[in-house]
Every structure is written in structure tokens, then in C-alpha cells.
Structure 1
Amino acid sequence: MSIAFFHLLLYITLFSSLTIRSFPSPNSPYLSPKIIFPNYQNMLINFKIFIYEPNSPLTFKSPAELLFYTSLRNSPFATRNAQEAHLFFVPFSADLSTRSIARLVRGLRTDLPYWNRTLGADHFYVSCAGIGYESDRNLVELKKNSVQISCFPATPGKFIPHKDISLPPLATPHAPHAPTNETASGSFRFLGYFRHTVGTESTLARELIGDPDFVIESEPSDEMTNAERLSSSKFCLFDYEIDISGIGEALRFGCVPAVITDRPINDLPFIDVLRWQEIAVFLRRGGGARELKRVLDGTSQDRYVRMKELGVVSSQHFMWNESPEPLDCFNTLMYQLWLRRHTIRYVRRE
């Protein structure tokens, strides 16, 4: 039995229960369920990626980058036949200078035929911090044409919406806590949980300290404490400008994310797949603690339960596994790349 066929069997088993029984189309966490699932199946069978061999051993800035690269190389998507590839992966180390990256792209242009066919539009690369706008032609084409996979949240000014992809932070795979009788009935110890790193607490966090409806703390002392906070809180608060990396973990524990931001967020993980407005609450920073409590308290029980349930289903896409599993983080990233395989040929200007 091939790996792709095995994935397909698991996919059919998993989603026959999720999409048909548990979540009819109006209450699905997915943007287009009728399109996504057949398209995902097609990807498992057909998607091929050619990986350029790096000139030297690679170094990575985050564990997620390393796991992505290792998973890709060992996956059935990788091919040694460039002629059958839909996309081409350009690997380079996290600490490589922009001059060296430009030299790398120049080598692809002059030594191999694939880059010039689309000026890099059917290529992608991983850069946790992202690549900025440079004057060098090779970097311009890489930045503007190729798909960038960068760590979430993306560095401001280094992410192009609808082209680039966010790489969710690494989280150990484990099932969400089953709702206790207390949480299932809608009774929680806390309305909101706001975790921050020492020295980075926001103005809103300072306003909420002492409010019995909220628990505000720096990084918990252990994983069990964190799990208890997540499972006993109705909402998990995230200040987008400071730290939003735990949003997938919150979903997994059934803690509905409440994201504080003053601008649209275009780099949310799996933004091509998930209906974020149905699994998270987004609030303006300027409203302060009073507005925050008004919005959270004003969320109806029916809407809250629906958001929580859809969020738990969505959380499977944030799970990293050493051996990728259907619709986990790696395979959902692959699906987003699959959506970008139809390239536009950019006119070459001398």
C-alpha cells in the first residue's frame, strides 16, 4: 500500500465523520468544504515538488522550519524528476546573507532551466524572518514571484498576502482536553486567560490585573498549569503586536482566541482554509478593558459553543507530527502550496 493511498484512506475515514455528521456546511470551520476535500484528495495523489540540493548543510532558526524541511524531503510529494514537478523548493540556511541568497538565485537562473520559465513564480522557500525588498534583480524576483513560507506572526513589511504562507509554531501533538462537566455546561472559572512573557505585558494586561474574571500571568511554570488555564478559561487573549504564537494551542483546548489588533491580519495560518471569523474574536486595541469585557460578555452562548467546537476541529491543522498525518500542520501547508501551483508567467523586462 502506497503512502499516498494510505493517507487517502485515513482522509476519507476522518472527514466522513467531521464534515457530514458533526459539521454540516453552514457550521463548517472551512471556507469551502465542498471544494477543499476533493482538492485535498487530488493533492495527495498528484502533487510533486522538486527540491534543489543545498550547497552546504542547512541551519534553521526554529524547530518548525527543520521539521518542515525534513518532512518534505521524506514525503511522497518530493520527486527527483524535475519535469513532473508542480513546484520547486529553494532551501537555504536561516543565517544566509541577502548577498548569498542573490548569488544562489543567480546560480539557479544560469545553471538550470526551471527558474527562467516563470521567473521563479513556481518556486518557494522558507525564511522564518522573511525577505525584505532589495534592489538586486535576483532578490526582487524571489521576493515578488516566489512563495515565501515565514514564521507566524510574520515580520511587518516582509509578508505578501495571498502569495506567502505562514508557518505555525511547533507544538507537540496531543488531543484536546475533553470538556469537563463544568466547561461543557458553560460555567468557567475565568472569562479570559492572558499569558505574556515577563517584560512584554500590554497596557490591556495591566488594566485587567486584579479583575477576578481574568487570569493574567507570565509563562506558566509547567505544562500542566498551562493546560489547566486553557481548559478553564472561556476565551484566550492575544495581543497581536506582542505574542500570538499560542493561538493553535488555545484552539486545541477549546479556549476561543480573542485577538487584540488595530489592523487587518493577513498572515493568519491556513487563511486559505479556515474561516477565522468563526473560530476567533477580533477586537480593537483602543477599546480597553471595558470594551473587551463588553464584547466577550456579549457573545451569545450558542455562538460561543459553535466557535469552541469549530476551533477544536480546526486545531488538528496546527499539530506537528514527526511522521506527518492527514491534515496535520505539514499536510495543510502542502495543501496551501498546492493551491498556488498555478503560476503566472511574468514578462521578462530587460
Structure 2
Amino acid sequence: MSSNFPQSRLNDSPAVTPNRIQHTYSSLDRLEASLVRARAAIGKAKSDNQTNDPDYVPTGPMYWNAAAFHRSYLEMEKLFKVYVYEEGEPPVFHNGPCKSIYSTEGNFIYQMENSQFRTRDPDKAHAYFLPMSITAMVHYIYVRDSHDSQPMKQTVKDYVGVLAGKYPYWNRSTGADHFMVACHDWGPSISGAVPELFGNSIRGLCNANTSEGFRPSKDVSIPEILLPSGTIDGLIGGPSASQRTILAFFAGGVHGPIRPILLEHWEGKDTDIQVHKYLPKGVSYYGMLKKSKYCICPSGYEVASPRMVEALYTGCVPVIVKDHYVAPFSDVLNWNSFSVEVPVNEIPNLKKILMGISTRQYIRLQRRGKQVRRHFEVSWPPKRYDVFHMILHSVWLRRLNVRVHASADL
């Protein structure tokens, strides 16, 4: 899981197209110029020249470039403004789930609409948020067992059509400075209703599957987080490494191509590798997470899964078994430093691989996971560096690479 954040995110700062006719600066000129300056500041960030921060200073191998990330985050706080379109009626718009495995979608919509980053003046915005919930569309529009996604696609198409007809911003950039978030598995396909939304816009997706059109250069991988009660209360924390008696753990339904392989090789085969289709009666799922050194995170029908965040929450080292998956925030975070990636064809060797990790290295992985956990925590109200801010920072990074020419604003 490599990242090109230090290179492609920070170099090649574009020049802003001037207004050669009037020799004055439009609002878009000024916005683009501020982004050029931000890119330059991020590019100059050095590891020995970090700015003091009262809350947190990123450091360590968990980050591809800790200093660049920190400077970028501070520039985002200082500059970034987002216009939230007010069109659309709840529950499909301006709404979303906050308790299911799709909670990231609803939480982000609510927090964005009440955020310090929101501007009510679209001419002052660097980016434009489409506050639509794919999960709500599936719930309220989809006809169960019809296998027909067309009504939902038509809803997205009509919505973007209204915005493009009412405002100049979508057409000005062909959607490139607009973004959406979707945690439902169908997010990628439904966004395909509008070619510019699929191909140009920044799509924040839990289902970050490169085989389904996810493009890390413009799209954002967001974490799937299961919140049974709507908060992280009781989900955070676990015993130290020395108190974890189980080598690896997984429990979950058998669906998709990977989980049947995992269960075939390990279900009931070895007490060190606790793999279950169904947990025995009376056994706590979260209790098992907290007893385990490693937590196995295989794909199901789609690549998204709350297990990676559950592992980080409970101090268990994630073991990622997925194809075509881009991990959340991987342009900033070096997942190899706090997780283990196992190819599907190595599932039979899972125990050998995990036993080959020294105790010292395991403790490092666990400690680093605890440090980056803050980036996946859901806070009300949002706290700096939490999951809301990390999603927004990923959008900010991609907006820095978009150049909207002032000539289009005349």
C-alpha cells in the first residue's frame, strides 16, 4: 500500500491564468492563487521544521511525510472553504445513517453542514459538496429485489442537472471541484449516472475498489465504521500486547470470493487462528477483538469492511486480505507500518506469516496503530485530526491538484 503523497500532491504548482483583458483579479483568481501558495508551503515543509501544535504533531513511520501532512493540515484549517448546496429534500439529501456500517456517510453530511469550513457564499468556496446519501436512496427509492438501480441513478442525474442549471460552478469545472461521500456498496455505480461525477468529481467512497473505477489520484477512500449506538463510547481501548492470548481472529458471514477460502483453511483447524462463521453462544465479538494480537480483515462482496477500524479501536493489528483495495487516507498514512497485508493466495500460510513477525515488531505495529487511531475516531463535535477532518483533508489534497481557470469565470 504505497503512497505518492510526498511527490504528486506537492509538486508542479500551477500558475493561475490571469485576466488579461481587465487586468483585475476575479474571486476565482484569488482562490486559485491562495491554493498555489498553499501548495508551495506544503512543498517546502521539512521534517526538522515542524510547526508547534497544541493538539498533535504528526511524527513517525505511520506517515509517508509527517511534516508535509502537518503543514497541509494547517493550511487546510487556515484556508479551505466548502459550499454545501442547499437544494434537495431530506431524507435522500441532507441526511444519512449514523448508526449502521454506513455511519461515515451520515456523520460526514451532518458535520459538514455545521462545520467551520462551510461558507454560505459560493464565490468564496474552494470546493462544492453534494449532500446526497446513496444509502438513503437505496432505502427509500430502490424497489427491493428489483435489481433495478435506474431510479436512483435518475435521482442523481436530476439533482446534478438542477445544480448545473442554477449555478455556474459545476459547468465551470465540469464537476472537478465538487465532491460527494458514499459508504454504500452501490456508491460507485450510482455515481456513474453522471459521467462527469464519476470521471471528474472527487468521490469519497468506502468501496474504494480500483477494479470498479476508483481512481486514487482524484477519489478519496473513506473508512467504513460500524457504530451500534451512534458513538464510539465503549469501543475504544484494549489490553496490552502481553495480555492478548489469541494469535488471530475473524468472525463473519461467508460471502464474496475471499472469505470462503479463509474459512476452508482455518475454521476449526487451529486454536491460534480463531476463524468463525458464527461465534459460539455467549462469546463477545468485541471481547475477542481485545483478546487477539491480529484481526483478520477480508473482503466480502465488496472491499469495504468495518473490521479495519474495529481492529484499530481495540488495539488489534489489522491483517488486510483484499484485492484492488485502496486503504483509507493512504496518501498520508503508511498502512504497512501498523498493519499486515496478506495476499489471497497466501491465506494457507497465514499462521506462518504471523508467527514470523517478531514480538518486538508486533509491539511496534500495535503501538503505531494506537497512535493513528485518532484519525479514525468519530467525534461530536468533530475534533482536530479525527475522521471528519481526515476525510476533508483528503478532499483538500485533491482540490489542490484541480486548476479552474479564471477565464471560465468571466
Q: TM-score range by the shorter chain?
A: 0.7 to 0.9
Deviates most, 339-348 or 80-89: 339-348
1:278 has 2:333 as partner? no
Which residue is equivalent to 1:7?
A: none
Q: Aligned partners of 2:238, 2:155: CA distance in 1, in Å? A: 49
> Where does structure 2 lack aligned partners over 5 or more consecutive residues?
1-51, 138-150
Which amino acid letter does the alignment assign opposite residue 248 of structure 1?
V
1:103 has 2:158 as partner? yes
Which residue is equivalent to 1:188?
A: 244
Write the deviation string for residues 216-247 of structure 1: whole angstroms up to 9, x where unpaired. 23465899923321222111112124563211
Which residue is equivalent to 1:68?
A: 108
- What does residue range 226-245 of structure 1 map to in structure 2 within 5 Å? 226-241=285-300, 244-245=305-306
Which amino acid letter does the alignment assign opposite residue 63 of structure 1?
S
TM-score in terms of structure 2 length: 0.70
Q: Aligned partners of 1:83, 1:297: CA distance in 2, in Å? A: 57
1:15 has 2:15 as partner? no
- What does residue range 18-33 of structure 1 map to in structure 2 within 5 Å? 19=58, 25=59, 27-33=60-66
Which residue is equivalent to 1:166?
A: 221
Change (3 A) 1:335 1:134: closer
Q: Aligned partners of 2:205, 2:192: CA distance in 1, in Å? A: 21
- What does residue range 7-156 of structure 1 map to in structure 2 within 5 Å? 12-16=53-57, 19=58, 25=59, 27-59=60-92, 60=96, 62-94=102-134, 95=137, 97-127=152-182, 128=184, 129-132=186-189, 139-152=194-207, 154=209
Question: What root-mean-square deviation, in Å, do the aligned CA atoms of Structure 1 and Structure 2 show?
Answer: 2.9
Shift of 1:51: 0.7
Shift of 1:122: 0.5
Write the deviation string for residues 110-162 of structure 1: whole angstroms up to 9, x where unpaired. 321111221110001123322439997xx111111111122345595142222
Are 2:81 and 2:126, in contact at CA under 8 Å, matched by a contact in 1?
Answer: yes
Which amino acid letter does the alignment assign opposite residue 321 of structure 1?
S
Are 1:148 and 1:165, in contact at CA under 8 Å, matched by a contact in 2?
Answer: yes
Which amino acid letter does the alignment assign opposite residue 353 of structure 2?
V
Are 2:206 and 2:221, in contact at CA under 8 Å, matched by a contact in 1?
Answer: yes
Q: Aligned partners of 2:282, 2:87: CA distance in 1, in Å? A: 37
Change (3 A) 1:28 1:222: farther
Q: Aligned partners of 1:51, 1:177: CA distance in 2, in Å? A: 35
Which residue is equivalent to 1:293?
A: 351
Are 2:246 and 2:273, in contact at CA under 8 Å, matched by a contact in 1?
Answer: yes
Deviates most, 272-281 or 126-135: 126-135
Shift of 1:249: 1.4
Q: Which of 370, 392, 396 pairs up with 1:312?
A: 370
TM-score in terms of structure 1 length: 0.82
Change (3 A) 1:108 1:221: farther
Shift of 1:205: 2.1
Q: Residue 250 of structure 2: SS of its match in structure 1?
A: strand
Shift of 1:344: 3.5
Q: Aligned partners of 2:279, 2:386: CA distance in 1, in Å? A: 26
Shift of 1:293: 1.3
Q: Which of 122, 138, 157 pairs up with 2:212?
A: 157
Which amino acid letter does the alignment assign opposite residue 194 of structure 1?
F
Q: Aligned partners of 1:221, 1:105: CA distance in 2, in Å? A: 48
Change (3 A) 1:332 1:221: farther
Change (3 A) 1:244 1:90: closer
Q: Residue 13 of structure 1: SS of its match in structure 2?
A: coil
Which residue is equivalent to 1:4?
A: none
Change (3 A) 1:275 1:224: farther
% identical aligned pairs: 28
Are 1:54 and 1:92, in contact at CA under 8 Å, matched by a contact in 2?
Answer: no
Which residue is equivalent to 2:321?
A: 260
Are 1:125 and 1:149, in contact at CA under 8 Å, matched by a contact in 2?
Answer: yes
Q: Aligned partners of 1:29, 1:335: CA distance in 2, in Å? A: 17
Deviates most, 295-304 or 145-154: 145-154
1:211 has 2:270 as partner? yes
Q: Aligned partners of 1:205, 1:143: CA distance in 2, in Å? A: 36
Which amino acid letter does the alignment assign opposite residue 155 of structure 2?
S
